[in-house]
Structures are given as C-alpha cells and as structure tokens.
Amino acid sequence: MARITLKNLKHAYMRNPQRDEDWALKELNLDWDDGGAYALLGPSGCGKTTLLNLISGLLTPSHGSILFDDQDVTRLPPEQRKIAQVFQFPVVYDTMTVYDNLAFPLRNRGVAELTVDKRVREVAEMNDLTATLGNRASGLTADGKQKISLGRGLVRTDVNAILFDEPLTVIDPHLKFQLRSKLKELHTRVPNTMIYVTHDQTEAITFADKVVVMNVGEVVQVGTPKELFEEPHHTFVGHFIGSPGMNVLSCDLKDGHAYIDGNRIATANRAGAGAGKSEIGVRPEFVKFAGHGLEARVVKVSDAGRFSVVEADSAGGLIRLLVEEGGAIPSEAARLEFDPAATRIYTDGWLAGRAGQP
Amino acid sequence: MARTKWLIPAIYIIFLMLPIYWLVSMSFKTTNEILGSFTLWPQNFTLENYRTIFTDPAWYNGYINSIIYVSINTVLSVAVALPAAYAFSRYRFLGDKHLFFWLLTNRMAPAAVFALPFFQLYSAIGIFDTHLAVALAHTLFNIPLAVWILEGFMSGVPKQLDETAYVDGYSFPAFFVKIFMPTIAAGIGVAAFFCFMFSWVELLLAKTLTAVAAKPIAATMTKTASSSGYELGLLAAAGTLTIIPGAIVIYFVRNYIAKGFALGRV
Amino acid sequence: MNKTVNQKAWFFVLPVLILVAFNAIVPLMTVVNYSVQETFGDNVFFWAGLRWFEEILRSPRFHDALGRQLFFTGTILAIEVPLGVIIALAMPRKGPWVSVCLVLMAMPLLIPWNVVGAMWNIFGLPELGLLGKTLNTIGFDYNYTRQPGDAWFTLILMDVWHWTSLVVLLAYAGLVSIPDAYYQAARIDGASSWAIFRYIQLPKMKRVLTIAVLLRFMDSFNIYTEPSVLTGGGPGNSTTLLSIDLVKIALGQFDLGPAAAMSLIYFLVILLFSWIFYTVMTRGEEQ
C-alpha cells in the first residue's frame, strides 16, 4: 500500500508533440492518498485511460515522474509496480478453471502453493465465486468474468493500488448496481487505494470518496462529490455533474459584478480584473420563480417524477429549473430568482477569483 | 530476446527467396554459363531466354491458355458460390449441414483420383482440350472453398441489412447486387484470390484434360524439361514468368490475406 | 445468428449442387464402377467383385506407398506447424513491415506446383544448383537423384519451403485477433512469455491451427506434382508417395480396376484421418 504522487506528468502518443492538442495528457500534479477510493471521471477521449495506464506502467510518460510512497517508479514495468488493473472488457484465461485464474498472479510470483490456496479461497469467498471455483472460466457470464478479473487483483497481498478501467461497461444494467456495491464493500474490507475510471457520474459518485474530473487531457477539479456539486471550479464540471447540469448564462461585467440584460445578479464570488468571456453558473436546484428578478419565458415543462424540469428562455440563454410536484408554474412570462450563495461568475470557463487559477 | 526477434521472420524470408533468386538469376544466364561454371549471379547477362518465349507461339500460347481457364474458373466459382453461401449464412433448410459437409469433402479429394474419370467424362461430352474443361474441373475444389470463405464473411453482416433493404422496397436481386455485394466486397476479393491461386498452381488435372489447344504454360515447361534436354535457362525464364501473375495478385490483396484465412470456419 | 427456415434456399444452392455433383458424383461412380470390374482392353469388362480391394489391401507395394505417405505427412506436419507458429509469433503486429512480410511469405503459395518442383530440381542440382553446390562444397556428399536419404531431405525441405507460409498466415491471423487488454492483463499478473503463449496465444490460435493442420494434412496427402517433378518418385521407389503410385498404375499401366480400387481406399483414408483430426482437435470446445 502506498501513496501515489504524480509530478509534472505529461504524455503524448506522438513522438514530437508541438501544439497543445498533441498531448493526450497535459501537465498534471496530483496526490492520491493511501487507501483512498478515487474516481476518474470524464467524457470519452479525455485522457483518463491514458492516466490510468501511466500509473500501472503499461505506458511510460513522455515527461514527469510517478512516485509510490517516495520511490520513483516512472521507468518500472507493470509487474514490478505491484499494481492490479481491471479492464473494460473482462480478461480471463479461457483454458483455466476459475481457481487457476485466481491463482495465476500468485503462481507467477512463485508464492507457495499452500498460501495460494488460502488466498484463492478467501478471495473467491469475497467475490461469491466459491461455488464455481472448479468450472472452466470461459463458460461464465460477463459479470462472472469481471469478478474473476477483480479477484486476480485482490488475491495479491503486495498490491499498492487497484485500478479499474470502466469495469462495468459490458455488465447488464441490473447487475451493475450489485457489482458496484460489491466494490464499495470490498474497499472497506481491503484497505487498498482504488482508482476507478468512468464516464458515468453516478458510478463515480457512488464509488468514490474523491472524484477527479478530467476534460480534454487535463484535470479540471478534484473534490468530494459534494464539493463538485456545490462548488464546480469549471463550467464543464457544473455541466457534466448533476442532472440536469448547471445553467451557464452569458453576462456582462461591471466593477466585478455580473449583469444580465442590465439586471444585476447577486453572486457568491466577484470577478477579478482582466478580460475574458464571462458567464454565470447556477444549478437548476437553486433557481426559483419569484415576483422579481430576471425576466424569462417558460418554453417547456417536463415531468421528472417528484419534480418538474422547467425550461425558460431568458436574455442570458436557456435556463432550467426544478419545481417540486404541485408547485405553481407560470404559463408564459415569469421572473426568476437565483440563490446568491450558489450563483457564481466564471471567466473563460474557470471559476472567477479562485486562487492559483490559470 | 525482443530485440533479436525480427531475425526469425528475416531468416525465413531469406530462405524463401533463395530458390526463387536462383531461378530468376539462371533465367538471365546463357546455357554455356549455366553448364560451364558455377556463378552466383549472371556474368553474361542475357535476355535471350525471354526473347525465345515471347516469340515462340508454343510458349506464349501456354500463358494465354492458363490465364483464360484460371479466369473462367474464378468467375464461375465465385458466381455460383455467392447465392449458395448466402443461403447457408441466412437460412436453415432441409439437409443444409450435410450438404455443407459434403461440399467440403470434395476439397479433400485427391486430384490423382479424379484425373482419369475426368478425362473420360469430358471426352464423352466433347469438351476435352478446351479451356472450359480445365475451368470446370477446378471448380471441384474451388467452389467448396469459395462457399466456405464467403459464408464466413456473410455471417459477419447483420441480418438487419437485408431487412432494411426489403422495407426500403428493394427486390431481392437488386438488394443482392447493389447493397449486399458491395458490403462483402472484401470477402469476394479473398474468395476470388483463393480460386485464382488454386487454379493457377494446379497442374495434374490441367495437363490431363488438355492436349494442344488449351495446354497450360506449366505443362509446356514440363515438356521442355524432359524432351529438349538441358535448356535450363529457358526453363528458368518460363518459371520466372509464372511467378509474376501470382506476385501481382498478392500485392493487391495483401491486406485481406490474413483476414481471409481467419474467417475460414471448419 | 438465428436463421429462418426457408426451403426455397435450395434454389440458391442449386447451381453449386449441379456443378459439384456433375464433377464429383459422375467421376466417383466411374471409379466405383471400375473398381469392381476387370478389363482386358477393347471396352470389355468382367465383374471382379471386391477382388481388387483385397489385392490392394494385401499388396506390399500399397503398404510401402502408404507408409511413405504417412512418414512424409507426419514429418512435414511436425516441422511446419511449430515453425509456422514460431514465425508468426516473431512477426511484427503493426507498421509497414507487416505488408512486406505477408507479401514475401505468400509468394511460394502462388507459384504453380510444377514450377516449385522444377525450381527445387534446379536449386538442388549437385553441380549447378545453389543448394547442391553449397552442400557439396562444405563437405556433404549430396545428390538427391542418386541417394534416397538426400531425395527425402530435399522433398521435405521443399514442402517446408512451399507450405510453412500457410501456417504462418493462419497463425498470424489468429494472433492479431487477440485484444491488447489480454497482453496488458498478463503483464500486470506478472506472466512470463511462456505463460502468455501457453494461456493466451495458444488457446486463441486453436481454431486457426485446427484449420491449418487439416488443410496441411489433406494437401500433403494429396501431393503429386511437386515430388513427381522433383524426383519422379525415385531414386527407385524411395519417394513414391500414394498419388504418384496411383498415377503410375492408372495412366502409366492403364490398370483401371486396381487403380480405381486404390483411389477409393485412398480417398477413404483421407476422409477417415480428417475426421479423426477434426474430432480430436475440436473435442475440447464441446465441454
């Protein structure tokens, strides 16, 4: 077990990266605490799998270094890094039994057969595989196979961290929930660092203590699910997390305050000096109909169970808001009020006035 | 280990090229040089052997004959295999599995077993010594192969494609020619390649079923080798020329070769 | 894919059926017909019953040819299959060299079989051929037209040259179909290269290797043209394989009855062996 430190890490798949877009992973510094449950969240192609493969050693970074505790492992091959990894598509050794599959990583490392047997049975028990231990692995269903992949990671006692690369992609929806709870439960029993890559916010939020949000090759925010929801550092985070995502409205700035169509909007932060595209971000949960505020016109109401999602057109753009069941919804013209504590100004996408922001 | 791994294919390719090099190099040597001294490459470079082949009708007609029957065979085999492969890949019908297996057993038939009966059969119906005779005889092992390969490719095409086309109002023939065949173009290419290959390289049947009019180039060579004694240079030149069509075909289908093999299903 | 039952599909199969039946059934019937009759020429035939079959099955000549055939097929399978797999494993998976390898390796497959024979005939000549001259220069007394051992050596080397590429191409096709994740997982599990071969590559190649072994078995059992051009079955009868013997009897001596009986036995032997191979090699998949 170890703390993982990424220092000035950068990676490009081409030999001579010139422009910014050439980097699959832009420069990044990050600490992963020992025993934490992390999620790496972002849309497809944002560099999360690249980052994962750099940590496990399947890729060697073009730049920067990776430390496990204080040991530099940047150039070490995967088998020497004490890392387990579960892939998107289940990998099992078809010709072996479930038992032999689980024993494989230990036998490769020359562990005594007595210890192997003890570990395999323990892990099989944890993963509900005891009944199928003697079966051929090729005959199992996708979730069974994925449990084996997972088991092969858990069976080793020397593991620094377990990495998951979208492990639930090929699992039936009704089993996804089960397997996810299983992972969560395992994390409480096996205090390993776990890093879970996904593009599904629900998976990330239910699994992780801390979520790392990535977009186009860079980390946009690291935080608890609550932090990401309440204080997105970037409009991308606001948009990507939450359903429906955060409203992003164009606005004008005057003396650090935000104005939409001449109306001053009270915000939690103030914009600093300097030019850039200014926007206001506010989640649908913090917008309500009121007697005063921004003028808007209701264009669409959709029922989402306990509440309705209302779409309204305003001078700043389309605004979504949530109205609880039974709440009054004006038929056309309306005024909207934002909760000032949850309304923020963003400059060029980034939260304005935040320390250390580029 | 990993660094020297390329040596294995490299050495193998050198081994493959050596006899070919020897044949080609000999084709540019004079008879005197071949018989007189052992030389690693032609000392008196000559095109005389090739000139003989291109000016003597007995030689170049052999080429034309080979190319004619190989082409007839390839077109015929693929054309009849297409609907059959479609039937095997899309429908279940009475005796389908037995039929498929029976077709494949013909791929196992030794040409030597069929040589004489073919000779009698084709003589009886009056097509002995025609291009058609050889082309027909070669369908015996090329049709099963073409059906086998095409069926593999067609099974990879989802059935929804057919259904969508019918909904869009295509008749079956129109769908098959305009939509389905372009979709499996790679498969047709691979099947045609294999038909070409096996028809081009086979000689026993081709020789047995021809006398003069449709005699293949390869048979002309055998005659030269035995009758006119040591005309090794000429023989080498003719041999070299038979390699060229194959090499051209391989170059065009190189990306499909591996795939075509992988799709063969036993 | 779930197929619909449709008896009209027979119409699609009909052209193939007619052509192959015409080519396969009529000649096969001719062979069966000859195999139970005796002729003294002039199209006069007498019923001979199963006499030819008994004669062939008892004749030392057939036993010897069959023995040589089995030795030949066994040897080339034992060389070509492992060698083909080793070469396929060592080939690059991507990049410009893949095409170069594939094109060059496929070359021997597209050379007419008698040219292959002629090429090796020339290549092995003790005084004029590169192989023969080299072997004699470095001290071997090599002459494939006189010494049976040398004839066999050349015959097997020629077949390895001619057909190993088929195994390479098939094995390679099997290898490139393995997803990267398998290799990555194996590295993380700390698997040795032997373990990767044994538990990932070999199982994934099993299907294509079955095809390779079957094709090589059938084709090597049917081989006629190359050895007949190279050695003509000689010296003596030392390299007379089944097909060569059959053609000698049928076209050379025009002994139609025995030749036909031998053809049938020969065909049945191939079917039997193919079936055994197929059953043994695919047995594991049923479980």
Residue B228 — pLDDT band, cuts 50, 70, 90?
Answer: very low
- C155 reaches B (C-beta below 8 A): no
Q: What is the pLDDT of residue C264?
A: 84
Q: What is the pLDDT of residue C287?
A: 39
Average pLDDT, chain B: 82
Residue B104 Cα, gap to closest chain C Cα (Å):
11
Q: What is the pLDDT of residue C158?
A: 93
- A94 reaches C (C-beta below 8 A): yes
Q: Is the pLDDT of residue C139 over 70?
A: yes
Q: What is the mean pLDDT of residues C110-125?
A: 87
Cα Dmax for chain C: 78
Q: What is the mean pLDDT of residues B190-207?
A: 86
Nearest by Cα to A291 from A341, A342, A338, A336: A336
Q: Is the pLDDT of residue A355 over 60?
A: no
Non-local CB neighbours of C23 within 8 Å, separated by 6+ positions: B106, B114, B118, B136, B137, B139, B140
- B96 reaches C (C-beta below 8 A): yes
Residue B226 — pLDDT band, cuts 50, 70, 90?
Answer: low
Whether chains B and C touch (3+ CB pairs under 8 A) is answered by yes
Q: What is the mean pLDDT of residues A265-279?
A: 78
* Closest Cβ–Cβ partner in B19, B20, B147 for C16: B147
Cβ under 8 Å to C: B residues 39-68: 40
* Closest Cβ–Cβ partner in C122, C214, C271 for B26: C122
Cβ under 8 Å to B: C residues 59-78: none
Q: What is the mean pLDDT of residues A236-258?
A: 86
Domains and CATH numbers, chain B: 61-218+242-262 (1.10.3720.10)
Residue B222 — pLDDT band, cuts 50, 70, 90?
Answer: low
CB within 8 Å: C192 and A108 = yes
Residue B265 — pLDDT band, cuts 50, 70, 90?
Answer: very low
- A97 reaches C (C-beta below 8 A): no
Q: What is the mean pLDDT of residues A152-170?
A: 85
CB within 8 Å: B88 and C99 = no
Q: What is the mean pLDDT of residues A124-135?
A: 85
Residue A134 Cα, gap to closest chain C Cα (Å):
13
The packing angle between helices B7-27 and C130-137, to 10°, is: 110
Chain C residues touching chain A at CB-CB below 8 Å: 179, 181-182, 184-185, 187-192, 195, 199-200, 203, 287
* Closest Cβ–Cβ partner in B16, B217, B221 for C118: B221
- B30 reaches C (C-beta below 8 A): no
The full 3-state SS of chain A, as one line of letters, equals CCCEEEEEEEECCCCCCCCHHHCCEEEEEEEECCCCEEEEECCCCCCHHHHHHHHHCCCCCCEEEEEECCEECCCCCHHHCCEEEECCCCCCCCCCEHHHHHHHHHHHCCCCHHHHHHHHHHHHHHCCCHHHCCCEHHHCCHHHHHHHHHHHHHCCCCCCEEEEECCCCCCCHHHHHHHHHHHHHHHHHCCCEEEEEECCHHHHHHHCCEEEEEECCEEEEEECHHHHHHCCCEHHHHHHCCCCCCEEEECEEECCEEEECCEEECCCCCCCCCCCCEEEEECHHHEEEECCCEEEEEEEEEECCCEEEEEEEECCEEEEEEEECCCCCCCCEEEEEECHHHEEEEECCEECCCCCCC
Q: Is the pLDDT of residue B247 over 90?
A: no
Architecture of domain A4-230: 3-Layer(aba) Sandwich (3.40)
Q: Is the pLDDT of residue C157 over 90?
A: yes
pLDDT digits (tens, 9 = 90+) for A295-353: 888 888 888 888 888 888 888 888 898 888 777 788 778 888 888 888 888 888 888 87
Q: What is the mean pLDDT of residues C213-227?
A: 85
Q: How far apart are CA A63 and CA C281, in angstroms?
A: 50
Q: How far apart are CA B62 and CA B202, in angstroms?
A: 14
Cβ under 8 Å to B: C residues 84-103: 86-87, 90-92, 97, 99, 101-103
Point out which residues pair with A258 in neighbouring strands: A253, A265
Q: What percent of chain C has pLDDT over 70?
A: 92
Could you tell me if B249 and B197 are in contact, meaning their C-beta atoms sit under 8 angstroms apart? yes
Please state, as a whole number, how many other Cβ atoms lie within 10 Å of the Cβ of residue A57: 22
Q: How far apart are CA A246 and CA A278, in angstroms?
A: 15
- A50 reaches C (C-beta below 8 A): no
A152 CB neighbours in chain C (<8 A) are: 185, 189
Q: How far apart are CA A37 and CA A41, in angstroms?
A: 13
Whether chains C and A touch (3+ CB pairs under 8 A) is answered by yes
Q: Which chains touch A (3 or more CB pairs under 8 A)?
A: C
Q: How far apart are CA C287 and CA C283, in angstroms?
A: 8
Point out which residues pair with A333 in neighbouring strands: A297
H/E segment holding residue C85: helix C60-90
Residue where the block lists tokens 């086979």:
B202
pLDDT digits (tens, 9 = 90+) for C15-69: 888 888 888 888 888 888 877 777 665 566 667 677 777 777 888 888 888 889 9
CB within 8 Å: A94 and C191 = no
Q: Is the pLDDT of residue A135 over 80?
A: yes
- A89 reaches C (C-beta below 8 A): yes
A89 CB neighbours in chain C (<8 A) are: 179, 181
Architecture of domain A244-351: Beta Barrel (2.40)
Q: What is the pLDDT of residue A99?
A: 92
User: Which residue type sits at B123?
Assistant: S
Nearest chain B alpha carbon to C27: B117
Q: How far apart are CA C69 and CA C222, in angstroms?
A: 9
* Closest Cβ–Cβ partner in C181, C184, C199 for A93: C199
pLDDT digits (tens, 9 = 90+) for B99-118: 887 887 887 777 777 887 88
Q: Is the pLDDT of residue C282 over 70?
A: no
Q: Sheet of A343-347: strands edge to edge?
A: A247-250, A278-282, A343-347, A350-351
Q: Which residue has the higher pLDDT, A344 or A1?
A: A344
Non-local CB neighbours of A276 within 8 Å, separated by 6+ positions: A347, A348
Q: What is the mean pLDDT of residues A20-29?
A: 83
Residue B266 — pLDDT band, cuts 50, 70, 90?
Answer: very low
Among A151-165, A332-346, B8-22, B89-103, top mean pLDDT goes to B8-22
Nearest chain C alpha carbon to A103: C189
CB within 8 Å: C17 and B99 = yes
- A88 reaches C (C-beta below 8 A): yes
Could you tell me if C130 and B18 are in contact, meaning their C-beta atoms sit under 8 angstroms apart? yes
Average pLDDT, chain C: 83
Among B172-181, B231-240, C1-10, the range scoring the smallest mean pLDDT is C1-10
In eight-state DSSP terms, residue B4 is T
Nearest chain B alpha carbon to C208: B262
Q: What is the pLDDT of residue B103?
A: 83
Q: Is the pLDDT of residue A259 over 80?
A: yes
Chain B interface, mutation test: which of C73, C102, C122, most B Cβ atoms within 10 Å?
Answer: C122
- C199 reaches B (C-beta below 8 A): no
- C33 reaches B (C-beta below 8 A): no
Nearest chain C alpha carbon to A164: C185
H/E segment holding residue B125: none
- B173 reaches C (C-beta below 8 A): no
* Closest Cβ–Cβ partner in B18, B90, B103 for C20: B103
Q: How far apart are CA B109 and CA B111, in angstroms?
A: 6
Residue ranges of domains in chain A: 4-230, 244-351
Residue where the block lists tokens 């021809």:
B210
Q: Is the pLDDT of residue C78 over 90?
A: yes
With vertex at residue B31, the alpha carbon angle to CA B25 and CA B36, rounded to the nearest 5 degrees, is 95
Nearest by Cα to B253 from C93, C102, C105, C108: C102
The full 3-state SS of C240-285, as one line of letters, equals CCHHHHHHHHHHHCCCHHHHHHHHHHHHHHHHHHHHHHHHHHHHHH
Coil, helix or strand at residue C141: coil
Residue where the block lists tokens 């057109």:
A313
With vertex at residue B46, the alpha carbon angle to CA B43 and CA B49, rounded to the nearest 5 degrees, is 130
CB within 8 Å: A89 and C179 = yes
* Closest Cβ–Cβ partner in A89, A93, A96 for C181: A89
Residue B227 — pLDDT band, cuts 50, 70, 90?
Answer: very low
Residue B73 — pLDDT band, cuts 50, 70, 90?
Answer: very high
Q: What is the pLDDT of residue C73?
A: 93
Q: Is A97 left (phi over 0), alpha (psi -120 to 50) or beta?
A: beta
CB within 8 Å: B218 and C87 = no
Could you tell me if B200 and C114 are in contact, meaning their C-beta atoms sit under 8 angstroms apart? no
B158 CB neighbours in chain C (<8 A) are: 1
CB within 8 Å: B258 and C173 = yes
Chain A interface, mutation test: which of C178, C183, C187, C189, most A Cβ atoms within 10 Å?
Answer: C189
Q: Helical H runs in chain B?
A: 7-27, 31-36, 48-55, 57-90, 96-108, 111-124, 131-155, 160-167, 172-175, 181-183, 185-201, 204-208, 217-227, 232-262
Whether chains B and A touch (3+ CB pairs under 8 A) is answered by no
Q: Which residue has the higher pLDDT, B71 or C230?
A: B71
CB within 8 Å: C189 and A56 = no
Q: Which residue has the higher pLDDT, B184 or B219?
A: B184
Could you tell me if B216 and B167 are in contact, meaning their C-beta atoms sit under 8 angstroms apart? no
Q: What is the mean pLDDT of residues B242-251?
A: 84
Residue A104 Cα, gap to closest chain C Cα (Å):
7
CB within 8 Å: C114 and B19 = no
Non-local CB neighbours of B55 within 8 Å, separated by 6+ positions: none
* Closest Cβ–Cβ partner in C179, C195, C287 for A108: C195
Q: What percent of chain B has pLDDT over 90?
A: 14
Q: What is the pLDDT of residue A357?
A: 44
Residue where the block lists tokens 């081989």:
C223
What CATH number should be reported for the domain whose range is C60-286? Answer: 1.10.3720.10
Number of H helices, E strands in chain C: 13, 3
Q: What is the pLDDT of residue A47?
A: 85
Could you tell me if B239 and B221 are in contact, meaning their C-beta atoms sit under 8 angstroms apart? yes
Q: What is the mean pLDDT of residues C243-260?
A: 76
Coil, helix or strand at residue C142: coil
| Residue B40 burial class via C-beta count within 10 angstroms: exposed 0-12, middle 13-18, buried 19 and up | exposed
pLDDT digits (tens, 9 = 90+) for A89-112: 888 888 889 999 999 999 988 888
- B117 reaches C (C-beta below 8 A): yes
Nearest chain C alpha carbon to A92: C182
Could you tell me if A247 and A285 are in contact, meaning their C-beta atoms sit under 8 angstroms apart? no
Residue B10 — pLDDT band, cuts 50, 70, 90?
Answer: very high
Nearest chain C alpha carbon to A162: C188
C187 CB neighbours in chain A (<8 A) are: 58, 77-79
Coil, helix or strand at residue C28: helix
* Closest Cβ–Cβ partner in B8, B34, B262 for C177: B262
CB within 8 Å: A87 and C184 = yes
Nearest by Cα to B220 from B63, B73, B30, B22: B63
**Structure ipTM:** 0.84
